[in-house]
Amino acid sequence: QKEVEQNSGPLSVPEGAIASLNCTYSDRGSQSFFWYRQYSGKSPELIMSIYSNGDKEDGRFTAQLNKASQYVSLLIRDSQPSDSATYLCAVSNYQLIWGAGTKLIIKP
Amino acid sequence: KAGVTQTPRYLIKTRGQQVTLSCSPISGHRSVSWYQQTPGQGLQFLFEYFSETQRNKGNFPGRFSGRQFSNSRSEMNVSTLELGDSALYLCASSLASGTLYEQYFGPGTRLTVT
Cβ distance of A44 and B106 shorter than 8 Å: no
What is the distance in angstroms between the Cα of A107 and the nearest Cα belonging to chain B? 23
What whole-number distance in Å separates Cα of residue B102 and Cα of residue B95?
8
* Integer Cα distance of A101 and A87 in angstroms: 5
Query: Is residue B99's pLDDT more than 80?
Result: no
Calculated CA dihedral for residues A47, A62, A99, A34, nearest 10 degrees: 50
Tally A–B CB contacts below 8 A: 42
Are residues A92 and B99, on separate chains, in Cβ contact within 8 Å? yes
Å from B100 to nearest chain A CA? 6
**Cis amide prior to A14 (ω within 30 degrees):** no
CB atoms within 10 A of CB B33: 26
CB B103 within 8 A of CB B94: yes
B77-98: pLDDT as tens digits: 999 999 999 999 999 999 988 7
**Non-local CB neighbours of B95 within 8 Å, separated by 6+ positions:** B28, B29, B30, B31, B101
- Give the angle subtended at the CA of A19 by the CAs of B105 and A8, to the nearest 5°: 60
Q: Which pLDDT tens digit goes with each residue over A23-82?
A: 999 999 999 999 999 999 999 999 999 999 999 999 999 999 999 999 999 999 999 999
Give residue B107's pLDDT: 98
If 0-12 CB within 10 Å is exposed, 13-18 middle and 19+ buried, where does residue A37 land? buried
Which tens digits make up the pLDDT trace of B14-59? 999 999 999 999 999 999 999 999 987 789 999 999 999 999 999 9
DSSP labels for chain A? ---EEE----EEEETTS-EEEEEEES-TT--EEEEEEE-TTS--EEEEEE-SSEEEEETTEEEEEETTTTEEEEEESS--GGG-EEEEEEEESSSEEE---EEEEEE-
**Are A44 and B43 a contacting pair at CB < 8 A?**
yes
Helix or strand holding residue B44 (H, E)? strand B42-50
Name the 3-class secondary structure at B64: strand
* For testing contact with chain B, the best of A35, A46, A96 (most B CBs within 10 A): A96
Nearest-by-CA chain A residue for B44? A98
C-alpha pair distances (Å), B110 with each of B5, B13, B20, B45, B78: 13, 11, 12, 16, 13
pLDDT of residue A1: 78
